[in-house]
Structure 1
């Protein structure tokens, strides 16, 4: 099928390829912004003459206000259209990134990171909604695979990129790089043609559009499925938070060796989002979800059994989980969006917010006083996947409707978690 035939709404100036580039680059914004500057944190502490706790606010503040942006700007785009929110968000992001690079105090850096996060939240919320607006249903999962791979690979590659930047420049250069990415994305956003016609927009007030978040959340199938697939993000972000301690402190590797392990994991995880595209010819989404939950649980048990023996075994056991996490995102996002006829922006906001919030919990749980971080990550994986399996069985046996999963079950909703048509 030609790329032009993917579009339900034409992009006269961007074209289909330009739209894909815009969505993929937009998806890179958040993981790069969260993790690319982390190798420079010690230098920033020294530069500003402040505490590690203050510098850490540049990360925590970003994460918090990114989540706020996700909740606000998706519903706003349902009211005013995708393009105004997208353009405003990416311009704010680019300008805030440049201001971060020019910061003369830690307070200014924290404030600019907040603005940067709000802009990134707008871009992320709108981008997912655009996929549903602009792409024909049978091609959404393919495009979502391309977009979602950035969410999976970005947090793993970003610290490596940041370390390479520091080889030739100081911490400010990481923010100039982000400003450059924002500038490229801004140019593409200006060429973007609106995908939500005026007659399809929410007609109430802005406050009313925000209330649509509650309308979407009350969709039991949507919320239950989102809660189950969102559990993958908890161990994944736990790994991002303490992976360096595992490789450097626990296994005694150098910073370069640690970066190489991260890079290898990232390159292999790219395959995850495309696993469903290959598997969908042979298995249903329902069965595939059960298989992925089983793979995730098995990887956690394997990590607890052999993960402490060597960095290679730790990396391999986590990679099995990461591939499952990467595989579930594209088709689950498409299924979640399909639960709503309207309020796509609100649905997109809730999807991204849930992943962000659950990931934040994972980062906090990761630093609990575990016997060691390998054991901690293994327990987090097993617990998350165990809860996910129980929730999946309960959802399948319930009368809660779930389009794309239950609409073809022919009455056999639930023998075992892996017996899922």
Structure 2
């Protein structure tokens, strides 16, 4: 894959598109097929919990892919890792369109996610290579806003494809097209952003040892947990909301996709506000604001989330729409704390997010009634972990003393 390499970075708009595609692998792969859960269950003659396992295994695959490909990108560069990941993703997407049983789909989703994990974690490392300082947080927010179009439109696109083709298999042809686009845009337009002379002279074993060094640092661990635990909210919701809205409350696939999309609109608005607020406030202030909001919203979820459709929707909206003030800002802290190990740091941070998500998804898969408690408790735990380990008041005190 090295016989052709672009000589320079593409212009800013195209670069943003490529990085956004990298980050959109998970929301596209997950949200597109949520409205089809019932159809997959009927088409493969299986149970609701077995269909949900395809989501849990996808999250596990993301963890595996990110854990391995992050350090490999620090050693061998970004571009080829992205190309390998996009190839794996596209081939397994094609294979999923022909699968005849749920066990085969589960296995393919696991492998597909390993490919997606490479693209997602390395795409974030590219941001580190190209941008510096506060620009990283700003760029992360810009990419997130654009990337949120994926989970906003994906359920609607999924419903449309189901209506037009009357088959859930059409959704995986759409994912094949998505993975192929990521491959060709990277192949023809994205050069290697992590030059050989900039890479640390270490072995592959040393790159994995970086994980230990990152976790050994209390502040890095606190930042990662503060960033990862809210994933329990997102993936518990993604796993259980389709059943809750459609089976319990009797909503149609289209109505479900609308309510799902409204939560994403909240995320987009908070990410846009975060970009504006970064001009006036520092990153730490916005993180503390976001986490405090999330903890209060977690309590609201525990109190009213299980009472009615409106109660669940409102408390979910409060929990999810504040994420724009948390994730990207904490990621910029993690990069700053581990600047020379950015690939490993992004891999560990992202895989931790999906590991937490996999646990939340697994709990809801086997016990639908745990949906509300998992979402509420995840938000509260994020604040406790970040405050207890990162200890942000020390950074505030240091800035005052200066």
* Shorter-chain TM-score range: 0.7 to 0.9
- Asked if residue 34 in structure 1 is aligned to residue 30 in structure 2, the reply is yes
Match of 2:206 among 192, 205, 208: 208
- Asked if residue 410 in structure 1 is aligned to residue 392 in structure 2, the reply is no
Matching residue of 2:383? 389
Task: Provide the alpha-carbon RMSD of the alignment.
Answer: 2.9
Give unpaired runs (5+ residues) of structure 1: 1-9, 413-421
Match of 1:14 among 7, 10, 17: 10
Check whether the contact 1:74–1:349 (CA below 8 A) recurs between aligned residues. yes
Matching residue of 1:174? 171
Check whether the contact 1:65–1:117 (CA below 8 A) recurs between aligned residues. yes
Query: 2:62 & 2:391 partners in 1: Cα distance?
Result: 35
Query: 1:236 & 1:97 partners in 2: Cα distance?
Result: 24
Check whether the contact 2:128–2:342 (CA below 8 A) recurs between aligned residues. yes
Matching residue of 2:115? 119
Whose helix proportion is higher, 1 or 2?
2
Query: 2:11 & 2:397 partners in 1: Cα distance?
Result: 34
CA displacement at 1:149 relative to structure 2: 4.0
Check whether the contact 1:75–1:210 (CA below 8 A) recurs between aligned residues. yes
Matching residue of 1:277? 275
SS for the counterpart of 1:61 is helix
After superposing the two structures, state which structure 1 stretch, 125-134 or 83-92, moved more.
Answer: 83-92
Check whether the contact 1:78–1:346 (CA below 8 A) recurs between aligned residues. yes
CA displacement at 1:178 relative to structure 2: 0.6
- Asked if residue 184 in structure 1 is aligned to residue 174 in structure 2, the reply is no
What count of residue pairs does the alignment treat as equivalent?
Answer: 395
Query: 2:168 & 2:367 partners in 1: Cα distance?
Result: 31
Match of 2:342 among 329, 341, 344: 344
What's the CA shift string for 1:221-275, capped at 9, x where partnerless? Answer: 1111111232211122222222233333444433332222112222232112222
Give unpaired runs (5+ residues) of structure 2: 1-5
Q: TM-score, normalised by structure 2?
A: 0.87
Structure with bigger RCO (C-alpha 8 Å, 6+ apart) = 2
Query: 1:264 & 1:398 partners in 2: Cα distance?
Result: 32
CA displacement at 1:396 relative to structure 2: 5.9
Check whether the contact 2:66–2:351 (CA below 8 A) recurs between aligned residues. yes
CA displacement at 1:310 relative to structure 2: 5.0
Matching residue of 1:418? none
Where do residues 250-261 of structure 1 align in structure 2 (5 Å cutoff)? 250-261=248-259
What's the CA shift string for 1:311-335, capped at 9, x where partnerless? Answer: 3443233212211123211111111
Where do residues 121-140 of structure 1 align in structure 2 (5 Å cutoff)? 121-140=117-136
- Asked if residue 243 in structure 1 is aligned to residue 235 in structure 2, the reply is no
What's the CA shift string for 1:346-394, capped at 9, x where partnerless? Answer: 0110110111111122223445768x56xx52x4444334333333443
Where do residues 80-119 of structure 1 align in structure 2 (5 Å cutoff)? 80-119=76-115
Match of 1:164 among 153, 160, 164: 160
